[in-house]
Structure 1
Amino acid sequence: MRKIVVALSYVGMIEDAEAPRRRSAGRRDGKRAGGAARSAAGATRIVEAKQARSQATHERLLDALSELLQARSYGEISVADIARAAGLTTGAVYARFGDKRGVAVALIERFLAASFERMDSWGAQERWASATPQEIIDNWTRGAVNFGRMYRPFLRLMLEEPALREQHTTLIDHSSRILADLLRAALARPVDEHFDGDVEFAARAIMERFELQDDDESYARINRLICRITGVPEQATPGAKRGGRKRERA
């Protein structure tokens, strides 16, 4: 029995002697784990900072081309012009976009994303639920004319650059689809199978064909055009009668 007690005491002494070493090893492991975590976090911050700088450079180059298009046609702008306007080297352009066309494609993609968001927001307004077809057409026309005037360089770029013509079609389709949906709901009657195509044709005529003036006469003409193309009844001018003013009696 005495031998067993001595043996157990000896084991306890060994365990007591090992305890500090285990605690020390645990602290070292904890420090290593903490150091690894801090290193990983630091590496993540470095990567995020590099990505932020890269994105900022990306946007600067797009902004530079956008500003240049306000004064010159796309064909007159070079990679060197874009780099200089952005305050960067031509290497930054080639590294991120490959060539001038790559910058143009990225710029139009950004433009389309913002345009779709703006168009969707316009089409989702609650006021259209109680609006007449003529009111919808009038508001859409004014918005389309203003849009075309503000972003004429982008629209022209999409038409002139073969790689971007599909994006132009997508833009027109998006706008005309919103108009067609609103008119279909406002008419509250069945429309024929050509209705959507007619609305698209009218939208394309406005946003692509015409250099429009910002005046009431131009708006009235465009509204009549859309109404006649789509079959929406024209809104009579207040106080006017069909057939013109009657001749006064002598």
Structure 2
Amino acid sequence: MAQQQEGMRQPLQARSQDSAAKVLDAALAILGSQGPGALTIAAVSKASGVSNGSIYHRFTDRRTLLVAAQDRFLAQIEETWLSRTAAVWAISDDDALLARMIEAFTDVFTEHRLVFQAFMLSGYDDPQLRERGAASTRRAAREFGALLAERFGSPPEAADTAYRILWGQAVSSALFTDEEITELAVTRQSRHEYMLQALKAVLAA
């Protein structure tokens, strides 16, 4: 009998996890298409097919749902970083490596522009959201800083500065259009070439 009860609990737990994943994915989809103002329990319920009561039972309120969605989003982004940059470090040519790194940073942020915007803007008024985002950024900084310092024989401060250049360019591209930052029209390729020169100069310090 005990085995049967245990066997009954496992499908229930699996269904609960699947339901939670649907809710969080729906929340991220809403943030990515409509922004934080559109994120309501009712909207998430409609998009996920999970009842309002079930969502409230698991997440309590909108803010708890937003925090959980941020955790899921940051985990997905960190996994994306690992998958996209794993092969980069095997590139033998330093210029080609840095060029790929610039592309990877820019692409990840622009592909998820609205979701990044939603959490960055929400984080200004919510210390918990802000700290979770900062913790994720610091983890990435430690990892990439260490890899850059090892690859280029750079001081930690130089590698950290190189990371800040990559991160700053990526964040600015997520928050603003090129026209909102500067009036000078520069192609993406040309801008990345100048960034490459800047990174090389910093890492050679």
Q: What TM-score, normalized to structure 2?
A: 0.78
| Matched-pair identity in % | 21
**What is the rounded CA distance, in whole Å, between the counterparts of 1:179 and 1:203 in structure 2?**
10
**What is the rounded CA distance, in whole Å, between the counterparts of 2:14 and 2:195 in structure 1?**
48
Residue range with higher mean Cα deviation, 192-201 or 78-87: 192-201
Structure ranking higher on relative contact order (CA contacts 8 Å, 6+ apart): 2
State the AA in 1 paired with 2:148.
Answer: L
Q: What is the match of residue 135 of structure 2?
A: 170
> For 1:67-82, what aligned pairs fall within 5 Å after superposition?
67-82=29-44
Q: What is the match of residue 183 of structure 2?
A: none
Q: What is the match of residue 231 of structure 1?
A: 202
Q: Deviations over 1:198-240 (max 9, x none)?
A: 1232133122122467xx932431342354256146xxxxxxx
CA contact (8 A) 1:180 1:196 kept: yes
Q: What is the match of residue 80 of structure 2?
A: 118
Q: What is the match of residue 218 of structure 1?
A: 188
Query: Shift in Å at residue 112 of structure 1?
Result: 1.9
CA contact (8 A) 2:84 2:104 kept: no
CA contact (8 A) 1:79 1:93 kept: yes
Distance 1:74 1:56, change over 3 A: same
Q: Deviations over 1:61-88 (max 9, x none)?
A: 1121122123211123211111122223
Q: Deviations over 1:168-195 (max 9, x none)?
A: 32333344444433432332x3x33521
Distance 1:226 1:88, change over 3 A: same
Alignment partner for residue 115 of structure 2, among 150, 154, 157?
154
**What is the rounded CA distance, in whole Å, between the counterparts of 2:46 and 2:2 in structure 1?**
37
More helix by share: 2
Alignment partner for residue 199 of structure 1, among 162, 182, 193?
162
Q: Count the aligned residue pairs.
A: 190
RMSD across aligned C-alpha pairs, in angstroms?
A: 2.6
CA contact (8 A) 1:123 1:182 kept: no
Distance 1:186 1:205, change over 3 A: same
Q: What is the match of residue 134 of structure 1?
A: 95
**What is the rounded CA distance, in whole Å, between the counterparts of 2:192 and 2:138 in structure 1?**
18
CA contact (8 A) 1:136 1:182 kept: no
**What is the rounded CA distance, in whole Å, between the counterparts of 2:91 and 2:32 in structure 1?**
39
CA contact (8 A) 2:45 2:52 kept: yes
Q: Deviations over 1:128-166 (max 9, x none)?
A: 245233222210111122111211122112201223222
- Which of structures 1 and 2 has the bigger CA Rg? 1
> For 1:54-65, what aligned pairs fall within 5 Å after superposition?
54-65=16-27
In structure 2, stretches of 5+ residues that fail to align are 179-185
